[in-house]
């Protein structure tokens, strides 16, 4: 299957990978799966799959994104921010740093090195 739209890459790969990282951080902070599900507005089985690395595996973020996720998880847990706002900010940084383009090229071999569709 050819993935041509950057938005598809975000929905199918980036958003689940961000959720996986948020679940991981919230788990490290000592939150239970039920609470994590409520905070992230996802199901408990989804949290379980993220914990067991059955969802969103294969996408790894650099240290700047990881730091952003750690801070976002803390704000979400403290009810200082909402999941939607945090996800949007993380996605914006991923696009700005060109990581979306890297993921797009990895998933779609027809995308040339000169393509900047994901970053503009």
pLDDT (tens digit per residue) in 5-53: 888 889 999 999 999 999 999 999 999 999 999 999 999 999 999 999 8
Residue 70 lies in a domain: yes
1 falls in which pLDDT band (50, 70, 90)?
low
Residue 67 lies in a domain: yes
Q: Tell me: pLDDT of 2 over 70.
A: no
- How far CA 44 is from CA of 10, 26, 71, 110, in Å, comes to 22, 14, 22, 37
Residue 83 lies in a domain: yes
The Cα–Cα gap between 78 and 100 comes to: 29
Which structural domain, as residue segments, surrounds residue 101? 6-107
Residue 57 lies in a domain: yes
Q: What is the pLDDT of residues 48-90, one digit of tens each?
A: 999 998 888 888 899 999 999 999 999 999 999 899 999 999 9
116 falls in which pLDDT band (50, 70, 90)?
low
Residue 120 lies in a domain: no
Residue 1 lies in a domain: no
The tally of domains found in the chain comes to 1
User: What is the reported pLDDT for 26?
Assistant: 97
Q: What percent of the chain has pLDDT over 90?
A: 61
- Cα radius of gyration (the chain): 15
116 φ/ψ angles, rounded to the nearest 5 degrees: -125, 20
User: What is the reported pLDDT for 118?
Assistant: 64
Residue 118 lies in a domain: no
Residue 113 lies in a domain: no
């Amino acid at each position: 299957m050819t993935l041509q739209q950057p938005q598809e890459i975000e929905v199918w790969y980036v958003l689940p990978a961000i959720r996986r990282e948020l679940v991981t951080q919230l788990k490290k902070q000592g939150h239970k799966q039920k609470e994590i599900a409520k905070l992230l507005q996802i199901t408990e089985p989804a949290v379980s799959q993220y914990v067991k690395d059955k969802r969103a595996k294969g996408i790894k973020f650099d240290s700047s994104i990881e730091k952003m996720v750690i801070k976002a998880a803390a704000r979400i847990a403290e009810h200082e921010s909402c999941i939607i706002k945090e996800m949007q900010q993380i996605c914006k940084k991923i696009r700005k740093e060109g990581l979306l383009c890297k993921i797009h090229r990895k998933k779609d071999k027809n995308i040339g090195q000169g393509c900047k569709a994901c970053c503009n």
